[in-house]
Structure 1
Amino acid sequence: MTQLDVVGLAMHSEPLADENFLGLPFASLDMAEAVKVVEQASLGGAWRYVVTPNAAHLARLYKGDANLERIYRNAWLCLLDSRVISRIARRVGLRPPPVVAGSDLCEVLFREVISPSTPICVIGGDDSCINTIKSRFALTNVHHMNPPYGFWRSEEEVAKAAAFIVASRADYTFLAVGSPQQEVLAARVAEIGGARGVGLCAGASIQFLSGAQKRAPRFVQQMACEWAYRLLQDPRRLARRYLVESPLGVLFVLRHALRRPDAGRSLRRRDAAGY
């Protein structure tokens, strides 16, 4: 994809979907292309939000979460955030889009794109976490709100958070309140209108950037084992996510593979080839 193609994509407010994977409208962009598209879109007038489904997110779709599926379908940019899902999908004959981890995308934006004076908004994270990030990146124009736990179940609290985002007029809004609450909030901002810039459903990215949580070494990430690294760090909090929920995301992939008309022939061919 050329530089001109990437800039052209960023100017469109419609979803950048060119890959139907698992029934979702993913964009076939690598990291460099995704960063450039998001950077260009941040300068536009219309609010656009980015989602990065991983195995735990796909588990909710497996269980029939129609609202989350709608939010994903309406996202401006949908990127795959799971090397495990990518590898399993290829193993069963599917063609996944490139993996662009949300945490990596946010880190590149902070390190290479966002300047000290860039207006940004962060939803989630405590004051200590935000102050560390402000100091680390010399940020001078940060709008921060940390909604109460369970806020997404309250129309009033969601409205407050959405209004805060609209008023911030930020180029980049990092929604770091976990899933599906961050996706629900991103969609609500799109519905009410008036916001600008790009909203990124950031998950634990802000925690990683502040050093509150540690990411796995790069070679562990490349082996698709970051989930195991994080599980060992915080087993009490993450055991259910990685040992109960995420396997349902794998089942979601297998279900789509088995529904393909040529599923049986494809799997037999791959087995015969020694995959």
Structure 2
Amino acid sequence: MRFKTAKGEIAVNVPDRASLETIVRQKFQQKQGFSLATLNLDHLVKMAKSTAYYKVYQAQDYVVADGNPIVWMSRLAAKPVDLIPGSEMVLPLARWASEEGRTVALFGSSQNALEAAADDLRRHVPSLQIVCLIAPSFGFDVNSETAIKYLTQIESSGASLCFVALGAPKQETFAIHGRTHAPSVGFASIGAGLDFLAGTQVRAPVWVQKIACEWLWRLLESPARMWRRYLSCFAILPHHFVQSLAQRWRA
């Protein structure tokens, strides 16, 4: 499934969780790094405004659908993909790493949140080895020498998987730098996934998620922070729905 932006096209190239598991396990077995991004409408908005971010997304090895509108448009285009939110992939990814005998690093958020998230991960996956926790300071620049030092530290820790919780566009940019400076590590950009595990952020109840209203939950919780984001997301929906129909007609 492809989405057209003002800068070019972005493809969701991993259609479902089973495909993602196969790919990730193979990478662990081959001791090869990768970068995994989770596409949503906010990312499409940011890409339309930023050539740099578009190029970062183009450089990702794997992209999954994180957001119901992405899934709905894929079905409209007759190229269906499953919903795979980044926050819901933390535990499965950690479990696959543990089962393949690989270790994990946590990067982003705050030190207290990372420690709490690490404890929660160990409760769910007792055999998991977490070898590196790094909470960068406020205002951390992902294009700086400090970022390279962090990546070198992650590589030296022996971690095969690093959860990156910086938010877009920082996390995807950091992951791409990781492909150069920590080539044996898989980088998964998971947004607030670690904060959800730590309990420092509360996700919408399951029933809200099931009726595809998690966006409304977040808007009501943080209206001052979220209203502009969702307004921008709604503004691009007509264009992408038309593009999805065009893909269906061409097919």
Shorter-normalised TM-score: what interval?
A: 0.7 to 0.9
In structure 2, what is the equivalent of residue 165 of structure 1?
A: 154
Q: Percent identity?
A: 25
Return the alpha-carbon distance in structure 1 between the equivalents of residues 66 and 174 of structure 2. 20
Pick the aligned partner of 2:114 from 112, 130, 137: 130
- Unaligned residue ranges in structure 2 (runs of 5+): 123-127
Is the CA contact 2:113–2:195 (under 8 Å) kept in the aligned structure 1?
Answer: yes
What RMSD, in angstroms, separates the aligned Cα atoms of the two structures?
Answer: 2.9
Of 186, 199, 203, 2:175 maps to 186
Aligned partners of 1:208 and 1:261: how far apart in 2?
37
Deviates more, 1:245-254 or 1:224-233: 245-254
Written as runs of structure 1 = structure 2, the 5 A alignment for 1:99-178 is: 99-110=83-94, 112-115=95-98, 118-138=102-122, 140-152=129-141, 155-178=144-167
Provide structure 1 residue ranges, at least 5 long, that are not aligned to the other structure: 1-18, 267-275
2:75·2:81 contact (CA, 8 Å) conserved in 1?
A: no
| Distance (whole Å) between structure 1 residues aligned to residue 83 and residue 91 of structure 2 | 15
In structure 1, give the amino acid aligned to 2:179.
A
Q: 1:160 to 1:245 in 2, by over 3 A?
A: farther
Kept after mapping to 2: 8 A contact 1:45/1:196: yes
| Amino acid corresponding to residue 83 of structure 2 in structure 1 | V
Distance 1:88 1:47 in 2: 30
Match of 2:34? Answer: 48
Q: Distance in 1 between matches of 2:116 and 2:27?
A: 27
1:247 to 215, 234, 241: 234
* TM-score under structure 2 length normalisation: 0.82
Instruction: State the partner residue of 1:270.
Output: none
User: Residues 224 and 147 from structure 1, CA distance in 2 versus in 1: closer, same or farther, beyond 3 angstroms?
Assistant: same
Distance 1:36 1:191, change over 3 A: same
TM-score, scaled relative to structure 1:
0.75
Which of the two has higher C-alpha Rg? 1
Instruction: Note if contact 2:14-2:63 (Cα within 8 Å) is conserved in structure 1.
Output: no
**1:132 shift after superposition:** 1.5
Mapped to 1, the partners of 2:114 and 2:52 lie a distance apart of 30
